[in-house]
Amino acid sequence: MNWALAGLVYAGAYAALMATLADHAAARLVVGHIALLLPPLAPLYVLAARRRAWRGRQAVFWGTIAAWALLWLIGQTAWASAELLHAAPLPWFKWPIIVELYASALPLIALVAWPHRGVVVETAKTAAIDIIALGFLTAFLYWSLIIAPGMDPAHNRVALQSLAAIGPLVQLAAVAGLLWATASAAKNAWAVVYQRLAFGMIAAFALLIFTSLSAVRGDYQTGSPFDAGWMLPFFFAAWAAATSPASPGESRVSPTRLVPQPSPMLLFVALLIVPVLGYGMRFVTPIGEPVDSRRDIATACTLVGGMALVLLRLRVEQRLGEQANQRLRLLATACEQAGELVIIVGRNSEVEYANDAFCRATGYTRDEIDSIEPSALVAQESASSIPLFNQSLKARNVTRVSATLARKDGTTLQAACVAAPIVDAAGHVTHFVAVIRDTTEELRLREQLVRGERLSALGEFVSGVAHEINNPLQSIIGSLELVLDQHIEPALRGDIERARFEAGRAGRIVRNLLRFVRQAPNERLLLDLNEIVKATIGVRAYELELAGIQIREDYAPLLPLVLANREDIQQVILNLVINAQQAMSNPEGTRVLSLRTFMAGADAVLEVGDTGPGIPNEHAGRIFEPFFTTKSAGAGPGLGLSLSLGIANAHHGQLELVSASAGGCFRLTLPGSGFPGPASVH
């Protein structure tokens, strides 16, 4: 329904009817009062129907508009009762006029809520208190300027002139306030609301000028055509309320946004006017007793009431501050407990906050963080990204970047950073907040996953190659065994047996590779570790002698038997011996291969040591990784130690690198079976 059009039609019909009843004073009085009582019902109806559409300060605004219509209706009802029922025409200086004048100022006072700035539930109470206090002080001003002088017949003329001037001026002030609010709202949907309210007040101002002039001349009567000035604002208010935007669904402020508190300065200024006007009027325009005494009492009561409202407002504001502090404490606790790294940087590139996770990750204390430049936290390899990062933040964009951060001890960490500007109520960027996630472990796991996928593919490839190598190896072994079955010279037989052994060892390596990639089962027997070591070193003794390496053996006199696969354990020992031999490839210095067996609890242990250069600390953690080698290119694929570790683990044992006074030393531990082995003779 177009309430504005309805109001114009209503005002036109009222003016026409009043012109028709110009010569019927009694009828015009009755019809005039009825016509004046109906318009306030329009906004009350619309506001009642849409009361659930607004919250917070927006609800306070429309509640004040509803109070305007309701109070004006009450005042007009009392005015009509005085004229129609009690035959008291034009009760200018009675309480109904105070109610109506007070009500007519409420559209202007309602702007204290500034609904176009949002719901802001937290400050709705303070806005309501401000409106009540300003309305209370406005009523006092009306009483002091109009009612009090009107109580003395000698001052009736002055009081009536004041009333005639104040009525239109209040409407004009409301127009100015609403137009200012329209400009402040700019493109906000509430600008249209203010405009429609302003249109009604403009019509009221234009018509009430004639009403005021008529009152000053003394020829005003209720039912004047110019009374339409009191009617039109209500229809325009109904139009504005019917089309006003509803409050958004979220009615509470985010804990990350500060709530701007309205200034109480306007309330303090209004309160200061009370004693100046109340007590000053006693000397400027003294009326005499008992009116002046009543003025003093009214001034004192208004001051006490105003101070009570100010104290109430301050208390409410204090409660709001406590709630805001609680939210900030909650937010600070969440930041401190979060696993992510949080840092806040001021506009002057000063670190203003860093949570515990950030301090732990970078190694700085809070005091140290506060005194360093944020750029010092970025490692040199990521320094080139800082200008673009800062430029994006200054453009008020949420910025994501991956960078390397520098710790206090000089080490670095990989990080994924999300940063955003913090904007104050005026729209200015005041700080930048960054949430940083340490991705060092994530990148390591990703690299490990990629390596695992690559090793899986290599495993499939190794499996195929092993099958291809195994067939000719078996042919070679079979041919050598046929040759050995024939009568040949002893010297030649030794070479052929050595060749058959090496071919058999190659076959075992192939089978071990297959078990490594496919976890094939193997047969295990009770074996003597000392005997396996002696047999294996005997096979390798000739190559070691040619390489100029001295063998130093130390076998435990009594070692428990181990449940193992002989070929597997022999393969591990050979790998360790060959690894030691390659470590002592430098002909300079003493080259000694040490083999020592001993018992550790119920386990059988073998240590294989060398006098080579040893293994650097930076490589010690990766020495058992597949395809990792410290040898020169072409010296080997780097699978020996990895295969050996797999064999040891498959036997529920351990293969580890242990510290040695010189060179490298590997320790193979196999669980004992509980059965003693034969006595070993050195």
Calculate what percentage of the chain has a pLDDT beyond 90.
Answer: 20
> What is the rounded distance in angstroms from the CA atom of residue 220 to the CA atom of residue 32?
13
Question: Could you tell me if 295 and 371 lie in one domain?
Answer: no
Residue type for position 602: A
Sign of CA dihedral 599, 603, 604, 607: negative
Tell me which of 312 and 113 has the higher pLDDT. Answer: 113
Specify whether the CB–CB gap between 554 and 596 falls below 8 A.
yes
Q: What is the extent of the structural domain holding 611?
A: 525-676
Highest mean predicted confidence (pLDDT) among 31-35, 161-165, 325-329: 31-35
Question: Could you tell me if 312 and 210 lie in one domain?
Answer: yes
pLDDT, tens only, 28-63: 888 888 999 999 999 999 999 999 999 988 999 999
User: Has residue 360 got a pLDDT over 50?
Assistant: yes
Question: Could you tell me if 349 and 310 lie in one domain?
Answer: no
Kindly indicate the confidence band of residue 632, based on its pLDDT and cuts at 50, 70 and 90: low
**3-state DSSP call for residue 169?**
helix
Question: Could you tell me if 371 and 278 lie in one domain?
Answer: no
CATH code for position 356: 3.30.450.20
Residue 521 corresponds to which tokens in the numbers above?
A: 């089962």
CATH code for position 626: 3.30.565.10
Question: Could you tell me if 296 and 360 lie in one domain?
Answer: no
> What is the rounded distance in angstroms from the CA atom of residue 318 to the CA atom of residue 335?
25
459-476: average pLDDT? 76
- Say what the pLDDT of residue 127 is: 84
Chain Cα centroid distance, residue 58: 28
- Say what the pLDDT of residue 261 is: 53
393-417: average pLDDT? 84
63-88: average pLDDT? 88
Last residue of a domain, one of 421, 438, 455: 438
Neighbours of 332 (CB within 10 A): 12
Question: Could you tell me if 65 and 202 lie in one domain?
Answer: yes
The 3-state secondary structure of 493-529, one letter per residue: HHHHHHHHHHHHHHHHHHHHHHHHHHCCCCCCEEECH
User: Has residue 596 got a pLDDT over 90?
Assistant: yes
Last residue of a domain, one of 391, 416, 438: 438
Residue 91 corresponds to which tokens in the numbers above?
A: 């009760």
pLDDT, tens only, 239-295: 999 999 998 865 444 444 444 455 566 666 777 777 776 677 666 666 767 766 777
Specify whether the CB–CB gap between 84 and 29 falls below 8 A.
yes
In 3D space, the residue among 368, 650, 430, 373 whose CA is nearest the CA of residue 522 turns out to be 650
> What is the rounded distance in angstroms from the CA atom of residue 264 to the CA atom of residue 250?
26
Question: Could you tell me if 376 and 297 lie in one domain?
Answer: no
> What is the rounded distance in angstroms from the CA atom of residue 167 to the CA atom of residue 239?
23
Name 672's bridge partners. Answer: 562
Question: Could you tell me if 216 and 268 lie in one domain?
Answer: yes
DSSP calls for 5-23:
HHHHHHHHHHHHHHHHTTT
Residue 513 lies in a domain: no
Question: Could you tell me if 311 and 342 lie in one domain?
Answer: no
The 3-state secondary structure of 391-448, one letter per residue: HHHHCCCCEEEEEEEECCCCCEEEEEEEEEEEECCCCCEEEEEEEEEECHHHHHHHHH
DSSP 88: -
In 3D space, the residue among 232, 205, 166 whose CA is nearest the CA of residue 15 turns out to be 232
Residue with tokens 């580890």: 656
> What is the rounded distance in angstroms from the CA atom of residue 636 to the CA atom of residue 506?
15
Specify whether the CB–CB gap between 558 and 676 falls below 8 A.
yes
Residue 510 lies in a domain: no
627-646: average pLDDT? 66
Chain Cα centroid distance, residue 572: 56
Question: Could you tell me if 317 and 356 lie in one domain?
Answer: no
- Say what the pLDDT of residue 680 is: 58
- Say what the pLDDT of residue 254 is: 46
Pair type for strands 341-346 and 351-354: antiparallel
pLDDT, tens only, 488-545: 887 787 788 888 888 877 777 777 666 655 554 567 889 999 999 998 888 788 788 8
Specify whether the CB–CB gap between 571 and 508 falls below 8 A.
yes
Residue 216 lies in a domain: yes
Kindly indicate the confidence band of residue 384, based on its pLDDT and cuts at 50, 70 and 90: confident
Residue 490 lies in a domain: no
Highest mean predicted confidence (pLDDT) among 23-27, 402-406, 527-531: 527-531
Residue with tokens 């430098």: 586
- Say what the pLDDT of residue 436 is: 85
Question: Could you tell me if 389 and 319 lie in one domain?
Answer: no
CA dihedral 669, 672, 677, 679 (to 10 degrees): 50
> What is the rounded distance in angstroms from the CA atom of residue 679 to the CA atom of residue 526?
15
Residue 218 lies in a domain: yes
Q: Find the DSSP H helices in 186-247.
A: 190-217, 228-243
User: Has residue 466 got a pLDDT over 80?
Assistant: no
Residue type for position 577: V
Poorest-confidence range of 89-93, 238-242, 635-639? 635-639
**345-384 as b/e, with b when 16 or more CB fall inside 10 Å?**
beeeeebebbbebbbebbebeeeebeeeebeebbbeebee
DSSP 661: S
Cβ-based neighbours of 486, under 8 Å, separated by 6 or more: none
- Say what the pLDDT of residue 379 is: 85
Residue 241 corresponds to which tokens in the numbers above?
A: 């309320």
Last residue of a domain, one of 438, 466, 496: 438
> What is the rounded distance in angstroms from the CA atom of residue 146 to the CA atom of residue 91?
12
Question: Could you tell me if 411 and 535 lie in one domain?
Answer: no
- Say what the pLDDT of residue 233 is: 92
Specify whether the CB–CB gap between 198 and 175 falls below 8 A.
yes
User: Has residue 668 got a pLDDT over 50?
Assistant: yes
- Say what the pLDDT of residue 633 is: 45
Domain count, the chain: 3
The CA-atom distances, in angstroms, between 268 and each of 126, 263, 493 are: 14, 10, 119
Residue 473 lies in a domain: no
Phi and psi at residue 415, in whole multiples of 5°? Answer: -145, 145
DSSP calls for 370-398:
HTS-GGGGB-GGGGGGHHHHHHHHHTT--
Chain Cα centroid distance, residue 237: 41
**1-34 as b/e, with b when 16 or more CB fall inside 10 Å?**
eebbeebbebbeebbebbeebeeeeeebbbbbbe
The CA-atom distances, in angstroms, between 323 and each of 55, 262, 437 are: 19, 16, 31
Residue 467 lies in a domain: no
- Give the total residue count for the chain: 682
430-452: average pLDDT? 77
- Say what the pLDDT of residue 662 is: 80
Residue 568 lies in a domain: yes
> What is the rounded distance in angstroms from the CA atom of residue 164 to the CA atom of residue 217?
10
Q: Let me know the angle formed at the C-alpha of 17 by 83 and 105, rounded to the nearest 5 degrees.
A: 55
Pair type for strands 351-354 and 412-423: unpaired
